[in-house]
Structure 1
Amino acid sequence: MTDPVPMAELWRADLLECLHLGHGVICDDSGQIVQAWGDPEALIYPRSSCKMVQALPLVTSGAAAKYGLTSEQLALACASHNGAAIHTSRVRAWLGDLGLDDSDFRCGPQMPDDREARYALIRGDEEPCQYHNNCSGKHCGFLTLAQHMGAGPEYCEIDHPVQRAVREAFEEVTGAASPGYGIDGCSAPNFQTTLHGLARAMAWFASAGDRSDRQSMAAQQLVAAMVAHPDLVAGEGRACTELMRAMEGRVAVKTGAEGVFVAILPERRLGIALKIADGATRASECAISAILTGLDVLDRDLAATTKRLNPPLLNRRNIEVGQIRPAAGLLSR
């Protein structure tokens, strides 16, 4: 087993004040490791970075076609959204199309990250609903699949047909049986995998256009939806949205809680997965930006890149007092 290695640094003046360690893997379409940092076999929870995997049964089952789901809805099924009006209006409409309402969700309420939506609730002295939950799009997908299957309402239970289908898809694309699961923040099971397995899954998505089986065609649809609607996958100001816009639809990226980040590179048939050991989002965003820049798919001079790659550390008077930067070795292969 290899220890985690430096992936992002925080410098204040000339002193390295904080060092974020982690693991990372770049995998090709044959499942082989192209490059790795730390331990490729480190076991992790992918958290929300694997939502496109969790959405596969929605498409392969025929549910997406049966219910006439749009690319916007498929993007929301892969989303960790801000709870802005562009997200919640679409989620509520989707629920309505299913003949369901907020009480049918099992994700739990969440105060929206979107400032306007959050302040509107505060001004109205209102509590957030489950459709504000950043995972509500994924849960709409689960509910659609459950309805298509004629399955019961407790779609987050590990033995529910929806989660059995998700696990089967997850193990197929990661290339290994998952040794266990935990319960995510939105109450859905989150299956364990190695960094190598997660990167292999992303490379499988990246090379889906080379195949014509049902699973691969579903993967193509989901990736196409993500890059076509980056605003729905996350939201304004978020790394996933801004980085996908910066790469102009050539790469799909997805963050996960506790320092996980993945990328799907169809033109290169490559998949990337990384995990920051201490769970810091600032470090995972810096590291994924560095790796994508090193692969020449992300322009390091764009505002979306510099915002994550070399963001300034500002004090309360808005004076720059330091900088976050990628660790040596991430920017070049």
Structure 2
Amino acid sequence: MTQSAAITEIWRGPFLESVHHGHAVVCDDSGQIVHAWGDPEAVVLPRSSSKMLQALPLLTSGAADAAGLGTRHLALACASHNGAAIHTDRVGAWLDTLGLGDDDFRCGPQEPEDIPARNGLILAHQSPCQIHNNCSGKHAGFLTLAKHLGAGPEYVDPDHPVQKACLDAFETATGLDSPGFGIDGCSAPNFATTLHGMARAMARFAAAPDGSPEQRLHQAMRLHPDLVAGEGRACTELMRAMDGKVAIKTGAEGYFIAIIPDLKLGVALKANDGGTRAAECAMAAILVRLGVLDATHPATLKRLNAPILNRRNLQAGWIRPGAAFA
């Protein structure tokens, strides 16, 4: 097995203080590896980076069109959002059209990452609801599909028709049988695959023809980066920095993907230690290397060769791409 690669380094003054290792793959639309760092065949849970795969049955089944879903709904179905009003208001309206409510979710409550939303709950002496969960858009999509299929309410059960459809879509897109799944933070099954398989799936999205389910999903993400994550988040800021030409999506524990339609390329990346700072830096380095992200853009500089500031706001070090990208 190929060893993992040094993808991100932490420097303090002249000293290399920490190193994050991981794996990354860039695939073309034929499924061939264009670039690889570490082990392309490492089997990893992609976590929320797989949300566009989990959203595929929503379109292929006809459920999205039957429910009159637009691009904002599709972006939310792929989102790990901050729980801001722009997210929860839209998910709430989506539930209303289904004749459903917060109790129909199976994702669990979550305190919003959005500070105004969090402060609003505190001032109102209210607790977070399931609609605040960063995956509530994905779960609204699951509920839409379950209603369309006439299936039961326990849509996160691995044997439920919704999750069987998700597994079929996942394996078809990656070109591999999944060796299994783990239960995600939102209680849905999260299917494992190789980095190569995930990059291949993202390349298939990138090369998909206009109007296809894959194209509609990545187009929705590119049109609405604010809905995919939120203010201050890497996904939102870097998609804006690339003028909506590339779709990117983070996942828990240091996973990250990119869909690059102009180049018909897909990217999958995993930081072994689950470090978000490592995954964001490494993904920015790959996007710059591929020529789709400006290395001097402020959103890039927050993550690539980014300064580490101390409590007096003095620069003490840098977060830099690892030796693998030299």
TM-score per shorter chain, which class?
Answer: over 0.9
Q: Report Cα offsets for 1:211-244 as digits up to 9, x if no partner.
A: x8xxx80001001100000000000000000110
Q: Does 1:330 align with 2:310?
A: no
Partner of 1:48: 48
Q: Could you say which residue in structure 2 is the equivalent of 1:255?
A: 250
Structure 2 partner of 1:147: 147
Residue identity in the other structure for 1:297: V
- Counterpart residue number, 2:188: 188
The answer to whether the 8 Å contact 2:5/2:324 transfers is no
Which residue, out of 288, 295, 302, partners 1:300?
A: 295
Q: Equivalents in 1 of 2:280, 2:136: separation in Å?
A: 23
**Distance in 1 of aligned mates of 2:287 and 2:325:** 9
Aligned to 1:282: 277
Q: Identify the residue that residue 223 of structure 1 maps to in structure 2.
A: 218
**Superposed, which structure 2 residues align to 1:157-196 within 5 Å?**
157-196=157-196
Hey, what does 2:308 align to over in structure 1?
A: 313
CA distance in structure 2 between the aligned counterparts of 1:41 and 1:80, rounded to whole angstroms = 26
One-letter amino acid of the counterpart of residue 71, structure 1: T
Partners in 2 of 1:233 and 1:109 — Cα distance?
A: 19
Instruction: Tell me how far apart the structure 1 counterparts of residues 83 and 20 of structure 2 sit (CA, whole Å).
Output: 29
Distance 1:28 1:296 in 2: 15
CA distance in 2, matches of 1:93, 1:304: 32
Residue of structure 1 in register with 2:266 after alignment:
271
Structure 2 counterpart of 1:38: 38
Q: How far apart are the structure 1 equivalents of 2:198 and 2:8?
A: 21
Matched-pair contact (CA < 8 Å) for 2:6–2:324 = no
Shift of 1:126: 1.1
Runs of 4+ deviating beyond 6 Å:
none
Provide the secondary structure at the position in 2 that maps to 1:165. Answer: helix
Q: CA–CA distance in 1 between the matches of 2:323 and 2:22?
A: 13
2:81 corresponding residue in structure 1: 81
Supply the distance in 2 between the matched residues of 1:255 and 1:100 (Cα, whole angstroms): 29
Which residue, out of 272, 291, 294, partners 2:286? 291
Name whichever of 122-131 and 140-149 sits farther off. 122-131
Q: Which residue of 1 aligns with 2:57?
A: 57
- In structure 2, how many angstroms separate the alpha carbons of the residues matched to 1:278 and 1:187? 22
CA distance in 2 between counterparts of 1:101 and 1:293 reads 43
SS in 2 for 1:261: strand
CA distance in 2, matches of 1:6, 1:29: 27
Point out where structure 2 has 5 or more consecutive residues left out of the alignment.
Answer: none
**1:92-149 deviation per Cα after TM superposition (whole angstroms, max 9, x unaligned):** 0000110000000000000000010011111222110000000000000000000000
Structure 1 residue 329: deviation in Å? 4.2
Q: CA shift at 1:328, angstroms?
A: 3.0
C-alpha RMSD of the superposition:
0.9
Find the residue that maps to 2:294 and give its secondary structure: coil
How many residues align structurally?
326
Return the alpha-carbon distance in structure 1 between the equivalents of residues 109 and 180 of structure 2.
26
In the TM superposition, what is the alpha-carbon distance from 1:316 to its structure 2 partner? 1.4
* 2:21 is the alignment partner of 1:17: no
3-state DSSP of counterpart to 1:309: coil
TM-score w.r.t. the length of structure 1 is: 0.97
Letter in 1 for 2:42: A
Secondary structure of the 1:274 match is: strand
Q: Distance in 2 between matches of 1:307 and 1:190?
A: 30
Q: Is the 8 A contact 2:112 2:128 kept in 1?
A: yes
Work out the CA distance in 1 between the residues paired with 2:254 and 2:109.
23
The answer for the alignment partner of 1:235 in structure 2 is 230
Shift of 1:324: 0.4
Q: Which structure 1 segments of 5+ residues have no match? A: none
* TM-score scaled by length of structure 2: 0.99
Partners of 1:70 and 1:310 in 2: CA distance: 38
SS in structure 1 at match of 2:302: helix
Aligned equivalents of 1:261, 1:311: Cα separation in 2 = 19
Q: What letter matches 2:4 in structure 1?
A: P
Cα distance in 1 for residues equivalent to 2:313 and 2:160: 51
Q: 1:330, 1:272 → 2: CA distance?
A: 15
Shift of 1:330: 2.3
The residue that corresponds to 1:91 in the other structure is 91
1:279-322 CA deviation, whole Å, 9 max, x = no partner?
00000000000000001100000001111112211111211111
